[in-house]
Amino acid sequence: MIPVLPVTGVPGRAILGPMRCLLVVAALGALAAGCGDNIHLDVDADPTCNVQIREIPEETGSHVPPGAAIVWSSNPPATGRHFFIWGRWNRTYTTPLPRGYWVHNLEHGGVALLYRCPDGCPDDVAALEAITAALPADSLCKAPIRTRTLITADPELPADVRIAASAWNWTYTASCVDPDSLRQFIADHYGHAPESLCGDGSYP
């Protein structure tokens, strides 16, 4: 049996230590799999959405010119190199915002909410917008910016991932919208990054 250790101060969540590869049946019967990283299982998540939360080892957040090729250590990315300008906050990008921009948003303490819907999914996008609209206003932000969040289509997500989110050093993936676990992910990881600031981006 693989040991499951509770995370102090985080009710209803367990962490599985780093292993070369692991398979664990979560408490609600959902199957979680991962190799070489920490997988955090939120037992309050909807089991039909296959929610997985991973901690990604931090990489140097060096800046590169827009359009430069970048290889990230996770999909979706959550740390590492990125473009030297970032995306505008509080927007929904139906045309995908290139990852090099929004990874810079993560470095500023933001959370990017992502979706992969080749045939379109307006109800899912509306659900993500409702989640961000309900967040409390960020004291570091000035009107018209309320929060350090953005929503973007991301066709580069794995084929089995419909909904995802990234914060600096953390990823969230799911096969459907689970508002409760997604809100908890944002609450846990919002504002925790090397540069916590709310200046608006300049792209597009």
71 assigned to some structural domain: yes
169, pLDDT greater than 80: yes
65 assigned to some structural domain: yes
20, pLDDT greater than 50: no
34 assigned to some structural domain: no
**pLDDT band (50, 70, 90) for residue 44:** confident
47 assigned to some structural domain: no
12, pLDDT greater than 60: no
Helix (H, G, I), strand (E, B) or coil at 38: strand
User: What is the total count of domains within the chain?
Assistant: 1
Lowest mean pLDDT among 41-45, 50-54, 119-123: 41-45
Give residue 56's Cα distance to chain centre. 11
Give the pLDDT of residue 162: 98
b vs e for 95-130, b when ≥16 Cβ sit within 10 Å of the residue's Cβ?
eebbbbbbbbbbbbbbbbbbbbbeeebeebbebbee
Out of 7-11, 22-26, 62-66, the most confident range is 62-66
d(CA 112, CA 106): 7
Q: What is the pLDDT of residues 105-134, one digit of tens each?
A: 999 999 999 999 999 999 999 999 999 999
Give the pLDDT of residue 45: 86
Q: Give the CATH number for residue 150.
A: 3.40.30
Question: What domain range includes position 104?
Answer: 58-189
16, pLDDT greater than 70: no
Enumerate helices (H) and strands (E) in the chain, giving the number of each: 3, 13
**pLDDT band (50, 70, 90) for residue 24:** very low
196 assigned to some structural domain: no
Q: What is the pTM of this model?
A: 0.82
181 assigned to some structural domain: yes
d(CA 150, CA 76): 15
Give the pLDDT of residue 38: 61
Tokens linked to 173: 């993936």
39 assigned to some structural domain: no
